[in-house]
Amino acid sequence: MENCSMVLKQMKYTADLNSLVTLERIVRLLPQSMQAQWGDLVDKLTEDDREPTFDELTQFVASRTRVASCRFGRLANRSRKGHNIKTNCHLQSGQWDSSTVRTKCSVCSDDYAVYKYPEFRKRIVNHISKVQTLGEPSEFQVTSHPYGVTSSPFCADFAMNNTAQTFSDGYDRYVVDAVKNNFYVDDCMISFSTCDPAKEFVKQIIELLRRGGFKLKKWITNLEKVRTILPDVCKEESLIEMSTSYDTAHRTLGVE
């Protein structure tokens, strides 16, 4: 989350990052116990007449993760209501056979027989499908667009893939693959180890997407040599500073 915050701030997405809608979507993914603790923290912030930020949520999650991962944190989780489904365990794939499917909790390290806990069974539907080999597979169809049609990831993914397949002739394979695999809705996240392939990528992907009716209007790079070939409309504030003081490098949103 810290790396995501750094990159998104450099991409000028600070307002979206700290919006209550974004924070709420992240908090919904947390265990119920952590949601309650976060609610207490936000209540204190509200008393000070201010709203929570993404950085504060990041610090909160990091703190609670350290507690849950330590010896006594695991002991506390183990003692809650006899390991039932309300302990908010984090499931990992475990071992299974044709008669018994089991999963391992990453917090308390105990195994659970999935057939005894319907809620656990829902969480590992992909693993269970490997066991259910009899009969015809079930088919499901999405009938609504998440976030609406305008911002639908499904529509964006279909349009981008169709463009890549229709106009792929004459373009390098890595450019076509980037259209298929490195876009999320309207953001392309990709990095290169050297300058030359990055410059060639810019030229080819602009031309490829233009043939499908798309126009890339915003670019961000950490190399001046790459910025010199960007369209004029993209050159303002397109250069970002990337710190090299870290001991290790992490790839986040295509930036390393």
Q: What does each C-alpha distance from 228 to 66, 175, 219, 223, 235 come to in angstroms?
A: 45, 20, 12, 9, 8
64 and 87 assigned to the same domain = no
The closest alpha carbon to 184, from 8, 23, 1, belongs to 8
Number of domains in the chain: 3
Residue type, 203: K
In sequence order, what are the beta bridge partners of 105? Answer: 91
Residue bearing the bigger pLDDT, 15 or 194: 194
89 assigned to some structural domain: yes
Phi, psi of 112 (to 5 degrees): -130, 135
The answer as to whether 137 is a domain residue is no
The answer to whether residue 92 scores a pLDDT higher than 70 is no
Q: Is residue 63 located within the same domain as residue 102?
A: no
Q: How confident is the model at residue 7 (pLDDT cuts 50, 70, 90)?
A: low
The band of 236, judged by pLDDT with boundaries at 50, 70 and 90, is: low
Neighbours of 78 (CB within 10 A): 16
Q: For residue 255, which of 205, 206, 220, 231 has the smallest C-alpha distance?
A: 220
Structure confidence at residue 177 (pLDDT): 92
Cβ atoms of 1 and 58 closer than 8 Å: yes
In a domain, 19, yes or no: yes
From CA 95, how far away is CA 101, in angstroms rounded? Answer: 7
Same domain, 104 and 158: no
Sheet holding 101-105, edge to edge: 91-96, 101-105, 111-113
Q: CA-CA distance, 41 to 173, in Å (whole number)? A: 49
Q: Tell me the angle at which helices 173-181 and 153-166 cross, rounded to the nearest 10 degrees.
A: 160
Query: Based on the domain organization, do 60 and 93 belong to the same domain?
Result: no
160 within some domain: yes
Between CA 124 and CA 138 the distance in angstroms is 16
> Residue 243 domain-assigned?
no
| pTM higher than 0.85 | no
Q: Which of 85, 67, 65 is nearest to 76 (CA)?
A: 67
**Could you tell me which of 133, 155, 79, 137 has the C-alpha nearest to residue 110?**
79
CA–CA gap between residue 151 and residue 84 (Å, rounded): 38
Indicate if 157 and 230 belong to the same structural domain: yes
End-to-end CA distance of the chain: give it in Å, rounded. Answer: 15
Whether residue 250 lies inside any domain: the answer is no
| One domain for residues 163 and 229 | yes
pLDDT at 72: 66
Residue 25 has pLDDT above 50, yes or no: yes
| Together in a domain, 9 and 49 | yes
| 186 and 122 within one domain | no
Do 223 and 163 share a structural domain?
Answer: yes
Query: What rounded mean pLDDT belongs to the chain?
Result: 70
Residue 57 lies in a domain: yes
| Res. 38: pLDDT tops 80 | yes
Task: Residue 62: give the domain boundaries.
Answer: 2-69
Residue 254 lies in a domain: no
51 has pLDDT over 50: yes
Note whether 111 and 85 are same-domain residues: yes
Contact 63, 55 (CB under 8 A): no
Q: Give me the pLDDT at residue 171, please.
A: 92
Query: Do 53 and 89 fall into the same domain?
Result: no
What tens digit of pLDDT does each residue of 128-186 get?
455 555 667 677 776 776 667 666 777 777 888 888 889 989 899 999 999 888 887 67
Domain identity same for 158 and 221:
yes
Q: What is the pLDDT of residue 95?
A: 41
Segment among 63-77, 92-106, 207-221 with least mean pLDDT: 92-106
